[in-house]
């Protein structure tokens, strides 16, 4: 019962995080843009977005969360760390750019890993696409990989099957990492 | 003109990802990665002025194309999502500068918005047709 309550709390956390990132992106665009038509379209789409988020939230099944030190959790963390750091390295150190880095990591992950772990690696790779102003060093990329790994550990089944769900999760990790890095640097 | 090119790019990339993932049954990750990699290599070469923007738009569309069959039952739905991605990319493409995952967030908003639009305007008709 207690476990079920905690997964429900995680689902609420997932809903709020998705709402914050999606609406944050739309609101920041509206604030920085004077175009009335753009604003109208974005407000309309955000209404549909929020309605759909709520609708899907009600359909999320209650599931047990894997233990923090289980084999599956360790594999997820390793994939998250590898995806983020490899993409950051190819993007900034080798200089291929974020799009090619993301594509390369995705193809390698999908070729050698099972489907779920490949998905985690590919999503983590999206965090590694961040610019140097967000992730200035490889250590910050490792921290971002660790944060997205933790998010995956607790919320991997929330909003599964929606294209771009991974991107929203990656944005959350990148924003949290940026805040931490800013605080310490 | 630029807007039309971006809309076409997101439409093609999202549909290509959907086709590789579901019609060729290769899976969402490899489908999106192939489309992202190919567009990242080819588009800047053929369109020197706006190639990077188009590659970014193509990546954005490919993330949306990873949607499950349950949520986008046919290519027409995927086309609608692809156009929504294009509209959102043009409108909100500059938000959250430098944040990794912002393109996926745009793709995610487009997918969720489409599901909301579908629910409001079509109800459960599509799902029932599919089940029937």
B14, B37, B64: residue with CB nearest A100: B37
Residue B124 phi, psi (nearest 5) = -100, 15
Mean pLDDT (chain A, rounded): 85
Q: What is the 3-state secondary structure (H, E, C) of A60-74?
A: CCCCCCCCCCCHHHH
A55-71 pLDDT, tens per residue? 887 777 665 555 666 88
The answer to whether B116 and B41 have CB atoms below 8 angstroms apart is: no
What residues have CB less than 8 Å from A88, skipping those under 6 apart? A101, A128, A130, A135, A138, A141
pLDDT value of position B125? 56
Q: How far apart are CA B103 and CA B85, in angstroms?
A: 10
Split at pLDDT 50, 70, 90, the class of B132 is: very low
pTM for the whole structure = 0.88
Residue B95 has pLDDT above 60, yes or no: yes
A118, A161, A171: residue with CB nearest B105: A171
pLDDT value of position B97? 81
Split at pLDDT 50, 70, 90, the class of B131 is: very low
B42-92 pLDDT, tens per residue? 999 998 888 999 999 999 999 999 998 988 888 999 999 999 999 999 988
Q: Which domain holds residue B82?
A: 2-131
What residues have CB less than 8 Å from A168, skipping those under 6 apart? A17, A18, A21, A22, A159, B101, B104, B105, B108
Q: Rounded to a whole number, what is the distance in Å from the CA of A142 to chain B's nearest CA?
A: 14
Split at pLDDT 50, 70, 90, the class of B114 is: very high
**Contact residues, chain A, for B112 at CB < 8 Å:** 22, 48-49, 52-53, 56, 162
CA-based nearest residue in chain A for residue B108:
A164
Are B39 and A99 an interchain contact pair (Cβ–Cβ within 8 Å)?
yes
Q: How far apart are CA A131 and CA A122, in angstroms?
A: 17
Are A129 and B100 an interchain contact pair (Cβ–Cβ within 8 Å)?
yes
pLDDT value of position B29? 92
Q: Give the total number of structural domains in chain B.
A: 1
Q: How far apart are CA A145 and CA A124, in angstroms?
A: 6
Split at pLDDT 50, 70, 90, the class of A155 is: confident
A9 or A169, which is more confident? A169
Split at pLDDT 50, 70, 90, the class of A165 is: confident
**Contact residues, chain B, for A14 at CB < 8 Å:** none
pLDDT value of position B59? 94
The answer to whether B58 and B35 have CB atoms below 8 angstroms apart is: yes
A23 or B6, which is more confident? B6
Instruction: Give me the residue spans of the domains in chain A.
Output: 2-59, 71-184
A122, A160, A163: residue with CB nearest B64: A163
**Contact residues, chain B, for A22 at CB < 8 Å:** 105, 108-109, 112
Per-window interface: B 16-45 vs A, CB < 8 A: 27-30, 32-34, 36-41
Q: Where do runs of H (alpha helix) occur along chain A?
A: 2-31, 36-59, 71-88, 98-112, 115-127, 138-155, 165-184
A106, A132, A162: residue with CB nearest B71: A162
**Contact residues, chain B, for A48 at CB < 8 Å:** 112-117, 120
């Amino acid at each position: 019962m207690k476990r079920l309550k905690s997964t429900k709390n995680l689902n609420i956390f997932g809903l709020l995080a998705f709402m914050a990132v999606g609406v944050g992106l739309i609101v920041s665009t509206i604030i920085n843009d004077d175009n009335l038509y753009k604003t109208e379209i974005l407000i309309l789409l955000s209404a549909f977005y929020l309605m759909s988020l709520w609708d899907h939230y009600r359909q999320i099944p209650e599931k047990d969360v894997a233990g923090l030190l289980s084999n599956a959790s360790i594999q997820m963390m390793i994939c998250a760390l590898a995806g983020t750091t490899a993409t950051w390295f190819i993007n900034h150190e080798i200089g291929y750019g974020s799009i090619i880095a993301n594509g390369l990591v995705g193809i390698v992950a999908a070729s050698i890993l099972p489907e779920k772990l490949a998905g985690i690696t590919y999503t983590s790779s999206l965090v590694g696409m961040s610019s140097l102003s967000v992730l200035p060093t490889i250590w910050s990329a490792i921290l971002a990989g660790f944060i997205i790994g933790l998010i995956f550990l607790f919320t991997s089944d929330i909003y599964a099957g929606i294209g771009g769900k991974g991107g929203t999760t990656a944005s959350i990790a990148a924003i949290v990492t940026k805040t931490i890095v800013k605080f310490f640097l | 003109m630029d807007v039309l090119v971006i809309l076409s790019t997101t439409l093609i990339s999202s549909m290509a990802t959907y086709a590789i993932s579901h019609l060729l049954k290769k899976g969402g990750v490899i489908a999106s990665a192939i489309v992202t990699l190919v567009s990242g290599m080819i588009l800047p070469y053929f369109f020197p002025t706006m190639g990077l923007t188009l590659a970014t738009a193509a990546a954005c569309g490919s993330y949306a194309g990873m949607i499950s069959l349950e949520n986008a039952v046919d290519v027409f739905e995927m086309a609608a999502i692809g156009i929504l991605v294009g509209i959102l990319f043009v409108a909100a493409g500059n938000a959250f500068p430098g944040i990794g995952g912002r393109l996926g967030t745009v793709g995610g908003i487009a997918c969720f918005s489409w599901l909301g639009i579908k629910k409001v305007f079509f109800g459960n008709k599509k799902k029932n047709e599919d089940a029937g």
